[in-house]
């Protein structure tokens, strides 16, 4: 396209808007640039028509596609060994849009009880408004997963490492049960990240991430990513996935997404073309840029996170004020063997401890509050995966909407304290925890 210089006598107003920039002019930047633009110029009306009809790839409008965001999508997909990805405004959006796309109207989900509290809220409080029901099972109960399957079941959902108790999922076994039922296994891989585990290698079909956490790593921006791992054949039972197999309105009613995007990812195409387009949980270009900056050091940070967490867990398990340490890196953990299979590069840095209980929830809360008030290095935040070490009380914060029965089934008590170990010197963190524990 021509720029303002082609205008014979451009006025001040024209120059101030258009001078010095021509759309599509290449700049060989070493770092992915921030494409801070709402929209993108088309070569011609025919070019625009083909993009809107999904006959060509390209950028139309940053709500659904942006070049900076695309780099993040491609990079996370490559790290997970997937075939395609979509980046969104938050991890919660990633979970929600994945389930909407897979479950469909009136679908059924089988989900682990040991899920993040916000995900439980979504499953219990919001998705029923869409006619989607969920059956919760203990993630370690193999028969429970199998027995929960219905004719309307469309997806299994679990976390590779659960938050906050750090239970390690037997991905291979649960994936086998899901596939025997003819449905995909979706795993939230936020705590493990692709560095500690690539769930595709164990049979999972879709990985979701809260990129807000370890992928970004600095607690500065929100983001989420959905990765199609390319292992599930949605065409094997097309009647179960009409949004993928029936003629699509987004394609003018002439073809299905499964046919049109054969060889690619019809699932990611559905999420982008329908749910991201219509509901709009868009990741901004500037946020994608910051997440990419964090992603470049993921392996180095995860090594430090993991090593420090192991040291701290080993120290706390013998502390007289601590009744239990829920960390799969400890030989006493019920998930220690699973961690050796599924987390060969290191253990997670998000885990929980149990303070000595006073036997009463109100008294336990008071004891936890005194402990947290004594901390000076660990921060009281509703986050994990930050460069800073974080402490949280799940029962009154992240999982506060769960019933007493749900808390108990998830392994959370009024004396449970979640730790997310950051990048500080572990000796400073141990000293800080010891000082605060002395108060209780």
Q: What is the pLDDT of residues 21-34, one digit of tens each?
A: 676 667 788 888 89
Percentage of residues in the chain with pLDDT exceeding 90? 81
- Mean pLDDT calculated for residue range 169-178: 98
Q: How many CB atoms lie within 10 A of CB 395?
A: 24
Rounded-to-integer distance, Cα 297 and Cα 292, Å: 9
Task: Identify whether 61 is preceded by a cis peptide bond (ω within 30 of 0).
Answer: no
The predicted pLDDT at position 8 comes to 67
Q: Which residues contact 8 (CB under 8 A, 6 or more apart)?
A: none
Q: What is the CATH number of domain 57-294?
A: 3.40.640.10
Tens digit of pLDDT for each residue in 253-307? Answer: 889 999 999 989 999 999 999 999 999 999 999 999 999 999 999 999 999 999 9
Q: In this model, does residue 148 exceed pLDDT 70?
A: yes
| CA gap 266, 46 in Å, rounded | 24
Q: What is the pLDDT of residue 10?
A: 77
- Write down the pLDDT at residue 409: 87
Q: At what angle do helices 361-373 and 426-438 cross, to 10 degrees?
A: 130
Please tell me the pTM assigned to this model: 0.93
| Res 16: pLDDT | 56
Tokens of 342: 């599924």
- 13-27, 164-178, 289-303, 411-425: the lowest-pLDDT one: 13-27
- pLDDT > 50? residue 200: yes
Neighbouring-strand partners of residue 418: 352, 392
Coil vs helix vs strand at 379: strand
* Beta bridge partners of residue 270, listed in sequence order: none
- Are the C-beta atoms of residues 155 and 99 closer than 8 Å to each other? yes
Lowest pLDDT segment from 1-15, 328-342, 381-395 = 1-15
pLDDT at 3 over 70: no
Sign of CA dihedral 74, 80, 84, 86: negative
pLDDT at 21: 64
pLDDT in tens, 222-242: 999 999 999 999 999 999 999
Region 413-420 average pLDDT: 94
Name the band, by pLDDT with cuts 50, 70 and 90, for residue 1.
Answer: very low
The string of pLDDT tens digits covering residues 55-103 is 888 888 899 999 999 999 999 999 999 999 999 999 999 999 999 999 9
Domain borders along the chain are 57-294, 298-438
Model confidence at 151: pLDDT above 70: yes
Q: How many CB atoms lie within 10 A of CB 365?
A: 16
What residues pair up with 187 in beta bridges, in sequence order?
Answer: 158, 207
Predicted local confidence at residue 147, as pLDDT: 98
| Beta partners for residue 210, in sequence order | 224
- Conformation bin of residue 371: beta by default, left when phi > 0, alpha when psi is -120 to 50: alpha
Percent of the chain residues past pLDDT 70, beyond the cut: 96
196 has pLDDT over 50: yes
According to DSSP, the residues that pair with 88 across neighbouring strands are 224
Q: Which of 3.90.1150.10, 3.90.1580.10, 3.40.50.11890, 3.75.10.10 is the CATH number of 298-438?
A: 3.90.1150.10
Rounded to an integer, the average pLDDT of 38-47 is 91
For the segment 142-151, the average pLDDT, to the nearest whole number, is 98
- What are the residues facing 392 on neighbouring strands? 418
Least confident of 109-123, 295-309, 374-388, 391-405: 391-405
């Amino acid at each position: 396209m021509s720029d303002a210089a082609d205008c014979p006598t451009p006025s001040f107003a024209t120059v101030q808007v258009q001078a010095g920039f021509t759309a599509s002019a290449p700049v060989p930047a070493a770092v992915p640039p921030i494409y801070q633009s709402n929209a993108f110029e088309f070569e011609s009306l025919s070019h625009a028509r083909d993009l809107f009809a999904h006959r060509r790839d390209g950028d139309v409008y940053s709500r659904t596609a942006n070049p900076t965001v695309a780099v993040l999508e491609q990079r996370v997909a490559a790290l997970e060994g997937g075939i395609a990805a979509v980046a969104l405004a938050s991890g919660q959006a990633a979970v929600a849009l994945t389930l909407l796309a897979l479950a469909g109207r009136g679908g059924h989900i089988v989900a682990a009880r040991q899920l993040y509290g916000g995900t439980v809220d979504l499953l219990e409080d919001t998705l029923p408004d869409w006619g989607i029901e969920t059956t919760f099972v203990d993630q370690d109960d193999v028969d429970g997963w199998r027995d929960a399957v219905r004719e309307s079941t469309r997806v299994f959902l679990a976390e590779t490492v659960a938050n906050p108790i750090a239970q390690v999922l037997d991905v291979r076994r649960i994936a086998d049960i899901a596939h025997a039922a003819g449905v995909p296994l979706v795993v939230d891989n936020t705590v493990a990240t692709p560095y500690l585990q690539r769930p595709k290698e164990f049979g999972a079909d879709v990985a979701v991430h809260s990129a807000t956490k370890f992928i970004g790593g600095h607690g500065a921006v929100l983001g989420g990513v959905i990765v199609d791992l390319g292992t599930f054949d949605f065409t094997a039972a097309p009647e179960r996935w009409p949004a993928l197999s029936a003629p699509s309105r987004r394609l003018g009613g002439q073809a299905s997404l499964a046919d049109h995007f054969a060889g690619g990812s019809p699932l990611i195409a559905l999420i982008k073309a329908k749910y991201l387009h219509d509901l709009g949980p868009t990741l901004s270009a500037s946020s994608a840029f910051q997440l990419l900056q964090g992603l470049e050091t993921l392996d180095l940070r995860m090594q430090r996170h993991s090593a420090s967490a192991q040291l701290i867990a080993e120290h706390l398990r013998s502390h007289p004020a601590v009744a239990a340490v829920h960390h799969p890196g400890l030989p006493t953990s019920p998930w220690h063997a699973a961690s050796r299979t599924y987390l060969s590069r290191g253990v997670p840095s998000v885990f929980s401890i149990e303070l000595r209980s006073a036997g009463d929830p109100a008294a336990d809360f008071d004891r936890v509050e005194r402990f947290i008030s004594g901390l000076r290095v660990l921060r009281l935040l509703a986050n994990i995966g930050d460069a800073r070490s974080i402490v949280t009380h799940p029962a009154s914060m992240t999982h506060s909407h769960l019933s007493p029965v749900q808390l108990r089934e998830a392994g959370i008590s009024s004396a449970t304290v979640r730790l997310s170990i950051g990048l500080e010197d572990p000796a400073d963190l141990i000293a800080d925890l010891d000082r605060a524990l002395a108060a209780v």
